[in-house]
Amino acid sequence: MIVDFSVQNYRSIKGLETLAMNAASIVSRNKQLEATNLIPFSSKLSLLKTKALYGANASGKSTMLRALGVFVNVVVNSVKDEKILNKFIDSFRLSGETYLSPTYFQLSFICNNVHYRYGFEATKDEIRSEWLFGTPGKKEVRFFTREGSEIQVNENQFQEGAKVIDLYKQSDNDIGRKNSLFLTAVRSFNQGLAKEIIDYISHYIIISGLSDYQMLLRAELSMGNEIVRKKMAELLKLADTGIEDIIREEYIPENSRESNEKRYITMTRRKGFDKHGKPAEPVDLFMITMESEGTKKNVRDQPCSFGILRRRARFDPG
């Protein structure tokens, strides 16, 4: 059961944000709701089975769920995929203060009646820190902590971890890499606590109903019409998404240079800020990979009202 999930410096999330599943101490007027949507753990803690997120467009709702998906992916696959951090770690880019700083993830959860909190900080190149704490008794204890390649293990609680530390001092193996998690490495060697925790985390599946990339690609086609492009930029600006303009640039793919085949990419232009929060150079973000799901949905939906999207969609974007 998830107690809470926290993330910082990931995509559109700059500061620390937490999705908490613990129920408030108030009593609902709907007794059936309390019976069907609450999981009692102790006299002080009950957890929600479901929770709804409300907020403005581009405020980070989908990004929070995406971050949880990245967390699960890295925890499960960091040993066998040495490029996983480069693929999925994406810091907040609109500030010079955070761009080169690590992304923070922490999951607090209950597994086999023990309350754990496990997390790590990572850049695209390496795991900067990692930790596992839990309450097998009344007080929280440390199982292990990591700062770079320095790992401290509580052998009384995490004996299997102590046996794997030596691998991180060797440079000729694929287990103790700087871009793989210690917990994942320990899991690959034994059937103990690491397996129990990672098997539990791996059961989480993130499903997004907003990933309609076919409509998004069709909307990109409509950007070839300058009237539509300007109108779309105006609408997104009025919707307070933080977007100042939409940029459509021409490029020639590497494998098509001889034929001079032209293609286009769509980017959004946003205001940039330095580490003091003062305006800096504007930042261009790729629409498909870097914008929020809500923003992309607006781009998908709006061009239809102009009667241009469907007509242009029957032509090859290349």
Tell which residue, 184, 182, 134, 191, has the closest CA to residue 162.
182
CA dist 152 → 71, 144, 162, 211 (Å): 22, 5, 8, 41
User: Residue 318's pLDDT is what?
Assistant: 31
- Bridge partner residues of 134 (DSSP): 116, 141
Rounded to two decimals, the pTM is: 0.68
Q: Which two tokens stand for residue 295?
A: 């923003």
Domain holding 290, by residue range, is: 213-312
- Bridge partner residues of 247 (DSSP): 267
Residue 32 lies in a domain: yes
124 and 115 in contact (C-beta within 8 Å)? no
User: Residue 146's pLDDT is what?
Assistant: 96
Low-confidence ranges of the chain (pLDDT < 50): 302-318
- The domain total for the chain is 2
Alpha helices (H) along 165-308? 182-187, 193-201, 213-222, 226-238, 287-290, 293-301
Q: Which two tokens stand for residue 7?
A: 């993330």
Residue 206 lies in a domain: no
d(CA 158, CA 144): 7
Do 295 and 225 have their domain in common?
yes
User: Residue 83's pLDDT is what?
Assistant: 93
User: Residue 305's pLDDT is what?
Assistant: 31
User: Residue 121's pLDDT is what?
Assistant: 98
Residue 207 lies in a domain: no
Q: Which two tokens stand for residue 119?
A: 């997390």
Residues listed for the chain: 318
User: Residue 246's pLDDT is what?
Assistant: 86
User: Residue 163's pLDDT is what?
Assistant: 83
User: Residue 256's pLDDT is what?
Assistant: 58
User: Residue 232's pLDDT is what?
Assistant: 84
Do 229 and 155 have their domain in common?
no
Do 268 and 185 have their domain in common?
no
Alpha helices (H) along 78-212? 84-88, 159-162, 182-187, 193-201
